[in-house]
Amino acid sequence: MKIIYSFNKKGFEAQYWQQEIAAGSGQWGTFIPFNHDPYLDVLRYVRAQLLDNLYFNREPALLQMYEDLRSLIAREGADALIVDNCFPYHPEFLRTLNVYKVLRTSDGPLAAYDRDFAYVHAYDHVLYHSPAYSADLDMEEKLRYVGARRADFWPLGLFDRMFDTSLNEQSILEHPRDLDIVFVGALYVNKMPLLARVKKAFGKRAHLHGLASWKMNAYFNAKHGWPGWIRPISFDQYVPLYQRARIGINVHNRGIYTVGNFRLFELPANGVMQISDGGRFLPRWFTPGKEIVGYEDADDLVRKIAYYLDHDDERRDVALAGYRAVVGRHRIRQRLQEAAEIIGRAIAA
């Protein structure tokens, strides 16, 4: 079986996505990466209505993308197409493709009405990255409700480029860990109160980095009493930073209902003990209390950070168990094999 994997990434990320998707091929199938990012600025189609406008106006760059994808499908004799993250393919184009079409969601309910649910009818199958959706429905129930023909849980995973593959259980914790607490992620408004609480509780011991404009930083500090400035780092700086960290906190934009980001895997892969929100959904990836530690709110997070900073043997035990779990169960090559098996069963059904 041949599967084209269409994604949108730039620079450093684009390189390792391209390489590792191709390397995910095996006896279960061949994966053919197709980076659709270079054709158009993603902001021009990030919402379904924007894409419809481009398609209606016959945007030349969009049509060139479509022609190149159609040619790749024909040249490779592809059986299936997976489309990941920001979706550039208009339903009227997709209906002309004679392949099994798979929508891969990765942002959860915050983006679902903008760029997931509008396209469900145009795909044969939806692979969702998290079982969480809302207090009323889980993600599979919601996808069925909006008309998905098939829906399966297919989590995100760990790319090899985001940890040091030369290390092992004996060496992963041997780096000097001079940073007590780290967080790397976008500075969304929903995350600000919790991040501010951690920064004020631990001061210079808490190292926060992420996507944050000067305007967002100004708002963060004005609103929350100057907890500190959040500075960005590039993707190739993540691993060296994590290798210095004792505890990594994971904060999702809508808490329990958006759990399942890449950070969930990158922290333990680099020997960082992870404390994450996610509540009842965390066991879908890790064993709470053994491979990961959960928290309920900002006060609970601060208490648990303080506890594990003072109990280093217990911190190391959780970090090592998390490392074993992520390299044993959650690497991208394993994920791609899982996807090929899921798609293969669906096609054969």
Q: Are residues 114 and 92 in the same domain?
A: yes
Asked whether 186 and 107 are in contact (CB, 8 A), the reply is no
**Taking the alpha carbons of 209, 214, 215, 218 in that order, is the dihedral positive or negative?**
positive
Q: Quick one: what percent of the chain has pLDDT higher than 70?
A: 100
pLDDT band at 253 (very low <50, low <70, confident <90, very high): confident
> Among the listed ranges 136-140, 222-226, 251-255, which one has the minimum average pLDDT value?
251-255
pLDDT value of position 342: 98
Rounded to the nearest integer, the mean pLDDT of the chain is 96
Domain of 15: which CATH number?
3.40.50
pLDDT value of position 184: 96
Range of the domain at 274: 160-329
pLDDT value of position 349: 87
pLDDT band at 255 (very low <50, low <70, confident <90, very high): confident
Report the predicted TM-score, pTM, of the whole model to 2 decimal places.
Answer: 0.95
Task: Over range 122-140, report the average pLDDT.
Answer: 96
Residues forming beta bridges with residue 248, ordered by sequence position: 182, 274
Task: Over range 185-196, report the average pLDDT.
Answer: 93
Domain of 200: which CATH number?
3.40.50.2000
Q: Are residues 112 and 167 in the same domain?
A: no
Pairing of strands 125-128, 293-294: unpaired
Q: Are residues 140 and 34 in the same domain?
A: yes
Q: How crowded is residue 323: how many other Cβ atoms within 10 Å of its Cβ?
A: 24
pLDDT value of position 108: 84
Q: Are residues 182 and 285 in the same domain?
A: yes
Q: Are residues 37 and 50 in the same domain?
A: yes
Q: Are residues 139 and 78 in the same domain?
A: yes
Helix (H) or strand (E) holding 304: helix 298-310
Q: Quick one: what percent of the chain has pLDDT higher than 90?
A: 94
Asked whether 145 and 122 are in contact (CB, 8 A), the reply is no
pLDDT band at 211 (very low <50, low <70, confident <90, very high): confident
How many Cα atoms within 13 Å fall on the side-chain side of residue 62?
19
Q: Are residues 145 and 238 in the same domain?
A: no
Helix (H) or strand (E) holding 209: strand 206-209
Q: Are residues 136 and 241 in the same domain?
A: no
User: How far is residue 195's CA from residue 104's CA, in Å, rounded to a whole number?
Assistant: 30
Task: Over range 135-141, report the average pLDDT.
Answer: 95
Asked whether 17 and 9 are in contact (CB, 8 A), the reply is yes
Q: Are residues 194 and 308 in the same domain?
A: yes
Q: Are residues 147 and 194 in the same domain?
A: no
> Among the listed ranges 51-65, 205-219, 286-300, which one has the minimum average pLDDT value?
205-219
pLDDT value of position 144: 97
Q: Are residues 31 and 102 in the same domain?
A: yes
Task: Over range 22-36, report the average pLDDT.
Answer: 96
pLDDT value of position 34: 98
pLDDT value of position 172: 98
Structural domains counted in the chain: 2
